Every structure is written in C-alpha cells, then in structure tokens.
Amino acid sequence: MNRSSTDNWPAVREASRKALPPAVLDFIEECREREHPKSALIAVLHRVQDECGHLGRDQLNAVAQLLQVPTARVYGAATFYHFFRLRPRGRFLISVCLGTACYVKGADQVNRRLMEELGVGLGETTADGLFSLETTRCLGTCGLAPVIMINDNVHGPLKPDDIPGLLERYIQRARKEEAGGKT
C-alpha cells in the first residue's frame, strides 16, 4: 500500500491489523485488488462476524481503516442490517422464525416458552454464555412450521413442550464437547 492518508498511517495500519483475524486480513487484501474494493464492505463484515462471533468496536474501526471507508459508513452498514451483531453472542444462537406460516402455527407460544426456559428476553444471552435468543425473518422452511434455528440446524415443527428437551440436547452436547477437551 503506497498511500498514506495520515501521517501516522503505519501505526494505524499496524493497530488495525492487530484487531482482525488473519483470515479477514487476507480477504481484505484480496478485495483491494479487485474492482470496486469498497463494495466488499458487507462481505468483510460477514467474515468478521463469522470469525469473531460479533462485530466489536475495535474491529469495525479496523475495517474502516484497512478498507479506507469512513467509520461512519461502516457503523451505518453494521447497524442497518439485522444480520450483524454488535454484542457477543452465546455459544448456541437460537433464532425463532417469524415467518407467516410459523406465526399462523403458533411461533409466539414457542417463543414465549423459550424465554421462560432460558430466562432471557429477545436479543439477550444467558448468564452461562450458552444460549442467545433472537428472532429471524422467514427461514423458508414453511412446511415444518413453526421452526427455530439453533446455529445452522433447523428444528421443526415444534410445540412449546418440545423446548425443554431440545435445549437439554444442546446443553448435553456442550458438556460432552467440554469433556472432550474441545472448545
């Protein structure tokens, strides 16, 4: 990079590089080679969230510096799209589908039961860091309504009474993984 937008650019660049995982740095480099590098902003944010679980302040600033997009624009995009998370999430992300078919078939009861069982509200994470509860737009699996998605797995059709057993399965899985020494 031969451009120095500020006098302290080398220091800023170094600090920014420290804030991001190597895979993201490589991706940003790759994007800068292409046409319209700034258009890669959303793709970069996706990568950061994949790697780090959420978009922290330091990471957003670093993306702004390395992609040479104003920080305000980066924050603008990060807060505009529902998919981006500015706070850390739990190990298992539960997304309750809010699609029409799920709604008609009782997604709100499932949602209420989840909140009761987990003791958290929407957008919150349980104290043990295991579960985060969110809603999502239609997952497109309307034939199984009502559904929820836990990380990348879709579960449905669900009744409120299925919830405790389902959560238990994930808790067991987490325990087993810990016992197995995996993180």
Residues in the site for other proteins, rule: CB under 8 A?
36, 38-43, 45-46, 69, 73, 76-77, 80-84, 98-101, 103-104, 136-145, 147, 152-156
Closest distance between other proteins and the C-beta of residue 76, in Å? 5
Closest distance between other proteins and the C-beta of residue 181, in Å? 26
Torsions phi, psi of 149, nearest 5? -115, 130
Closest distance between other proteins and the C-beta of residue 155, in Å? 7
| Burial per residue of 77-93, b for 16 or more beta-carbon CB atoms within 10 angstroms, e otherwise | bbeeeeebbeeebbbbb
Between 19 and 69, CB nearer to other proteins: 69
Between 144 and 174, CB nearer to other proteins: 144
Between 153 and 183, CB nearer to other proteins: 153
**DSSP string for 41-87:** HHHHHHHHHHHHSS--HHHHHHHHHHHT--HHHHHHHHHHSTT--SS
**Is 143 in contact with 100 (CB distance < 8 Å)?**
no
Between 18 and 87, CB nearer to other proteins: 87
Closest distance between other proteins and the C-beta of residue 148, in Å? 10
